[in-house]
């Protein structure tokens, strides 16, 4: 079960998830405590994006399309 599924659609390709700062402590699977669920998921999704896993790369072009782009000045 994905405990961060509600935040995936709000996660930006640049590795950002806007969260509020309400104090509602939660612990992740490793036992680390976070201020709230959104901040926990922001950290989790950012790590996934850095590893290149999951659906968080939905806004990135496939490798062949990236290499064929031409820069316009």
Encode pLDDT of 39-62 as tens digits.
Answer: 999 999 988 888 885 554 444 444
Q: What element of type H or E holds 6? A: helix 5-8
pLDDT above 90 (res 3): no
pLDDT above 80 (res 28): yes
CATH of region 4-52: 3.30.60.30
Q: Is-contact 14 45, C-beta < 8 A?
A: no
How far apart, in whole angstroms, are the C-alpha atoms of residue 46 and residue 72?
A: 30
Nearest to 50 by CA among 42, 40, 61: 42
For the segment 60-66, the average pLDDT, to the nearest whole number, is 46
């Amino acid at each position: 079960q994905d405990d961060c599924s509600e935040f995936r659609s709000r996660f930006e390709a640049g590795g950002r998830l806007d969260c509020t700062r309400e104090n509602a402590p939660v612990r992740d699977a490793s036992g680390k405590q976070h201020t709230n669920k959104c901040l926990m998921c922001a950290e989790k999704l950012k790590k996934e994006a850095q590893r290149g896993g999951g659906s968080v790369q939905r806004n990135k072009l496939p490798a062949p399309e990236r290499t064929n782009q031409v820069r316009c000045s």
